[in-house]
C-alpha cells in the first residue's frame, strides 16, 4: 500500500452543498474512489463524503476536490495535510 497525502489549498463553505469543499493537491499518488484520510498533525479522521467533479481549473492544476463533513471543520483548513492508504 502507498501512503497518499492531500494538502488543502483552498476551502469553500457553500450552504447548498452537503459538506465543506476542500481543493487540494494529492501527493505520492492519486485517489481511487472515496479516500479514508487522517489529519497528519492530530491523527484525527477526516470524513470524506465524496470526490467532486473536476473543473477546468483543477484539470489545469492537477488539484482534487473533496467534499468533507462539516463536523470536521477544525481540520479543514488551508495548509493542513491529510494522509491515507490506497491500494
- pLDDT tens for 2-40 read 678 999 999 999 988 889 999 999 887 777 778 889 999
Per-residue pLDDT, 45 = 94
User: pTM for the whole thing?
Assistant: 0.88
Looking at residue 11, which CATH number applies to its domain? 2.40.30
**Triad 70, 74, 78: Cα angle to 5°:** 100
Per-residue pLDDT, 1 = 53
Place of cell 497525502: 5
- pLDDT tens for 37-82 read 999 999 999 999 998 888 888 889 999 999 999 999 999 999 999 9
Please give the Cα distance from 11 to 20 (Å, whole number): 7
Domain that holds residue 6: 2-86
CA distances from 28 to 5, 25, 86 (A): 7, 10, 11
Please state the domain count of the chain: 1
Give residue 75's Cα distance to chain centre: 11
Buried b (16+ CB within 10 A) or exposed e, 29-50: eebeeebebbbeeeeeebebbe
Amino acid at each position: 500500500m502507498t501512503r497518499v497525502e492531500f494538502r488543502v489549498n483552498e476551502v469553500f463553505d457553500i450552504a447548498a452543498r452537503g459538506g465543506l469543499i476542500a481543493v487540494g493537491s494529492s501527493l505520492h499518488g492519486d485517489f481511487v474512489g472515496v479516500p479514508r484520510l487522517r489529519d497528519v498533525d492530530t491523527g484525527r479522521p477526516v470524513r470524506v463524503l465524496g470526490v467532486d467533479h473536476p473543473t477546468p481549473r483543477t484539470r489545469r492544476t492537477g488539484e482534487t476536490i473533496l467534499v468533507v463533513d462539516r463536523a470536521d471543520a477544525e481540520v479543514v483548513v488551508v495548509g493542513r495535510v491529510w494522509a491515507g492508504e490506497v491500494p
